[in-house]
Structure 1
Amino acid sequence: MLSLKPAIAKSLAKRVYKSIQKWAKKPIETQEKVFQSLISKAVETEFGRDHDFISINNHSDFVKRVPIRDYEALKPYVERVVAGEENILWIGKPIYFAKTSGTTSGSKYIPITKESMPTHVDAARNAILMYIKETGKAKFVDGKMIFLQGSPVLKEQNGIQLGRLSGIVAHYVPKYLQKNRMPSYKTNCIDDWETKVDAIVEETLSENMTIISGIPSWVQMYFEKLQQKTGKQIGDIFKNFNLFIFGGVNYEPYRAKFENLIGRKVDSIELYPASEGFFAFQDKQSEKGMLLQLNSGIFYEFIKADDFFSENPKRITLEAVEVGVNYVMIISTNAGLWAYNIGDTVEFTSTKPYRVIVSGRIKHFISAFGEHVIGKEVEQAMQEAIKNTNISVSEFTVAPQITPKEGLPYHEWFVEFENEPENLSALAKKIDESLQKQNSYYFDLIQGKVLQPLKITKVKKGGFQDYMKSVGKLGGQNKIPRLSNDRNIVKDFS
């Protein structure tokens, strides 16, 4: 794709744009077709027989027969697939398992089938083509690109290839792209993240890098190592670098830091990929949110996050969602995941077309006192507080302090600063005020003297990287939870 001449890339971008418009303009019809196709194809699977798929004609039937499951609840079926059985969750066997590190379940084995695999590849390609269509910029297709990702080395288990999603996807880079792609296969196979980044620095330093992609926190490490080695800003090292592609976390807390490292602004494209599916990508530079992929073998359901933990939460389809409401996203896919809770919460920024932002994780919240503060709220509070200041933040996480040595309980913010504030208390006050405006429960608890305003604890530089290394999660797709309802993470920082 990217190594094609710019004129050809633009031509292909027009075709892809037209194709996407067809389903984006008929969202409800598109999702109904996906739903019917999924049910009809899985009728003769073990899961389909167990849940009477032959009698399912509509969403209401589906809700009655198929309960919401997380990985733990689906595990008995997955274990049979891992053992080599066929026709369990989907027709035949998966071609891959994306192995992810769960917190409660240990390793998770997420199936990827011959039907679902192309959607991961196509969505990533289409995100770039939509950018070309919108901006007319295509010169970067002649330059080098880098995707900071996991090792492409795969293992085999009962005839099924097993590895990290990013490593699996690395095997689908077209031949015409290989000469543009960095780093080398050998470097990409290095397991130790710090060693790998050092090798990537050496390989890319003298190259014409035009696209850089990865989770912001790990790209930041790459940029900092480049800067340490050369004493230059990234924009001076890579003069034609003008497109940053990212996913996994909100970029806004990193934006100021990145612009300082780069030395200028660059365009960015946000992606929403996961082992379970490629759900959305940013289709317009001028619009907030990412275009939900409705024609990719994924049927979506949504539950209001506020109702999720009630006894019988209402499951709605796309046509009933509202802008600005926090939903838990439930998926059924052509990889054999059924009414599956991936753990993410999303908000719709638009319904014409359907665009979403990832607002957090349903398990990552603070509600130690009934406040139910979510990831989006803490990120926005931080962003507002440091706006138009010279303060920059490398990383942060938030946890409740339920039993302080003195005074009322509070939220404790563990922050690693790049540029520290002159007055830490003043920054804490700004963040707290923003959080109170966004979350009425938190406001009531502060005003009612149940909680005292938040406090900031500084984390030494490199502290979060040291923590991730200590738990074996440095690099790749791993990221620090923005907040949690206990102090398991922050006990090492206290």
Structure 2
Amino acid sequence: MIGILNVIFRHKEINYETKEILECQWKTLNKILSLSDKTEFGKKHGFKSIHSIKEYQKRIPIMHYEDIAPFWNLEASGEKNVIFNKSPEYFVESSGTTGIKKLIPVTKHLLKSIQACKNRMLSVAMKKNKNYNFLSKKHLIICSRIETGKTSGGIPVGMISGLITRKKTPKFAQYLLIPSEETINCIGLEEKFLRYKEEVVGHKFGTVAGIPASVVELLTYLKKNLSEKEYAHCFDEVEILLTSGVNYRPYRQKLEELLGKKFSYIDSYVSSEGFYGGEAEENPDVFQFFPKSVFFEFIPADNYWNNDYNTRLLLHEIEVDQKYVIAVTTGNGTFSYILGDVIKVCSKKPLRFTIAGRTLLTLNLVSEKTSITQVENAITQFSNQNGVIVKEFFLAENFDSNKPSYCWYFEETDFFRNLNESSKIELSKALDKSLCEANPLYDYFLNEVQTMEASTIHIISSNGINNWFKRKNSDPIHKKLPRIILDKQSVNTIVKNKTILV
């Protein structure tokens, strides 16, 4: 059976030499253009007469959500041939982690390409774990609701993780997935967890899939509410955690504590707008692109921040150690669409990259430019070096300080609640040391020129975080807390519920 699966899921690595990658990317782009060539949008930009990537870039500007949303909203209201030759099957709500919630269309083409990308990640999993056979055990999926309502035009609305993880899994594999669609669609967290508990008993899981924070929360609940024997039976043979959306590394210690062992992590680069890449086979710390599914463009990061979108590089043109803002064209109405991610190229042969931050969420009080990725790297290093297991966390400006400085916010745990005064000081120093190593500019402004003051720590209640998610109408099991929060009002909204000041 494993041999058969390898045949099904095997894939050929694209050669990123100019000719081959250009042919691949043009083929991908041309197919996507054909899905919208009869529409108002397609006619306006002359899709039928575009015969090269250069011509496409001349006619289509770089687009943000605000530019494309009016077309999507018209389709959602029931109008036809606005931006799609055929109406979308679904709309999905973005989680709104880094801004407003978005309503994003999902087409048959996108679902087909996502399935191809999922197959590639299964191939990575099978190569990483030689005896991994996903048909031999059950798979616990922790995802957001499949359907939350309908648009004004009657098109179903849900969230992308529920749709692609549960609803659109091939029928031959549906029986392997736990829990049921009914459980996934539960609104209340208490009822949902209770139903999870009832459905997992007696099954052996080989895979757990979900956002790391949500996996931690559910496994913690199950460990507390199942007998030791029941819990061990379910999870003692877990081989792989499939994850996306949030860096799993800050949660690694807690996950391995909950499962009682080390296991493999397979990370994917996915958002509500599409599936762009996944963990490289040879290195779990870098991503590979999926150029057969998505057309990619790259704007040098400094150019983007200066509102200069004229330089739009292709996959074969990006350079090692450089940072770029990524734009995608995916077959669901995104055309040269800015995702908001900044990537850094790690190597060219093979082409590999990491996520280096977000275009909007950067703490920049005195030109230190602290990114989300640097915050996550600092917490990972801090946790590993100091043996501290964190739950949720984020970084913000210290709004009460007379001198520029940061505040770290951690969700309450026994460890944080029981800190004595000397431990608090040492903890702050350790956090600053880790962030200095992650961001040399922070080190420069904190320690060399001393423009910034040492960071402080606040411990916030779990209620505060949960209430914040409720206000955002987020799925209770799909928790993506921003690692950097810029505005004071959002910080106060989280903090004001039973805040414990350290």
Tell whether the structures are fold-level matches, with TM greater than 0.5: yes
Letter matched to residue 163 of structure 2? I
Is 1:161 aligned with 2:156? yes
* Residue-by-residue CA offset, 1:256-302 (whole Å, 9 max, x unaligned): 11111111111111122222111112242644222211101x21111
Is 1:180 aligned with 2:169? no
| Alignment correspondent of 2:404 | 409
SS state of the match for residue 481, structure 2?
coil
Is 1:50 aligned with 2:44? yes
| Alignment correspondent of 1:433 | 433
Greater displacement, 216-225 / 25-34: 25-34
Contact 1:14/1:133 (<8 A) preserved: no
| Change beyond 3 A, Cα 1:235–1:32 | farther
| Change beyond 3 A, Cα 1:145–1:220 | same
| Change beyond 3 A, Cα 1:311–1:132 | closer
Cα offset, 1:154, TM superposition: 6.0
* Residue-by-residue CA offset, 1:216-250 (whole Å, 9 max, x unaligned): 11111111101211464965652222211111100
Is 1:68 aligned with 2:69? no
Letter matched to residue 20 of structure 1? K
Contact 1:97/1:161 (<8 A) preserved: yes
Task: Report matched runs for 1:63-462 at 5 Å.
Answer: 63-102=57-96, 107-153=101-147, 155-157=149-151, 158=153, 160-169=155-164, 170-230=166-226, 232=228, 237-284=234-281, 286-296=283-293, 298-313=294-309, 314-404=311-401, 407-416=402-411, 418=413, 419-420=415-416, 423-446=423-446, 447-460=448-461
Contact 2:278/2:287 (<8 A) preserved: yes
Task: State the distance in 2 between where 1:321 and 1:47 align.
Answer: 29
| Change beyond 3 A, Cα 1:316–1:143 | same
Task: State the distance in 2 between where 1:151 and 1:364 align.
Answer: 27
SS state of the match for residue 146, structure 1?
strand
How many pairs were matched up? 483
Task: State the distance in 1 between where 2:93 and 2:105 align.
Answer: 9
Cα offset, 1:104, TM superposition: 9.2
* Residue-by-residue CA offset, 1:374-423 (whole Å, 9 max, x unaligned): 1111111122223233211112100112442xx41201111236444772
Letter matched to residue 300 of structure 2? K
* Residue-by-residue CA offset, 1:117-144 (whole Å, 9 max, x unaligned): 1112232233123321343223452111
Contact 1:151/1:190 (<8 A) preserved: yes
* Residue-by-residue CA offset, 1:168-198 (whole Å, 9 max, x unaligned): 3222223322322111232222122332122
Letter matched to residue 284 of structure 1? E
Letter matched to residue 434 of structure 1? S
Task: State the distance in 1 between where 2:184 and 2:382 align.
Answer: 38
Task: State the distance in 1 between where 2:60 and 2:46 align.
Answer: 9
RMSD between superposed Cα atoms in Å: 2.7
Task: State the distance in 2 between where 1:244 and 1:250 align.
Answer: 12
TM-score by length of 1: 0.89
Task: State the distance in 1 between where 2:201 and 2:157 align.
Answer: 32
Task: State the distance in 1 between where 2:12 and 2:84 align.
Answer: 26
Contact 1:198/1:225 (<8 A) preserved: no
* Residue-by-residue CA offset, 1:9-35 (whole Å, 9 max, x unaligned): 432324532x33256784343113223
SS state of the match for residue 346, structure 2?
strand
Task: State the distance in 2 between where 1:396 and 1:452 align.
Answer: 20
Cα offset, 1:463, TM superposition: 4.7
Structure 2: 5+ residue stretches without partners: 497-502
Letter matched to residue 21 of structure 1? E
Task: Report matched runs for 1:5-24 at 5 Å.
Answer: 7=1, 9-17=2-10, 19-21=11-13
Contact 2:214/2:479 (<8 A) preserved: no
SS state of the match for residue 207, structure 1?
coil
Task: State the distance in 2 between where 1:319 and 1:288 align.
Answer: 21
Task: State the distance in 2 between where 1:184 and 1:164 align.
Answer: 16
TM-score by length of 2: 0.87
Task: State the distance in 2 between where 1:304 and 1:462 align.
Answer: 41
State percent identity of aligned pairs: 26
Contact 2:203/2:233 (<8 A) preserved: no
Task: State the distance in 2 between where 1:107 and 1:417 align.
Answer: 27
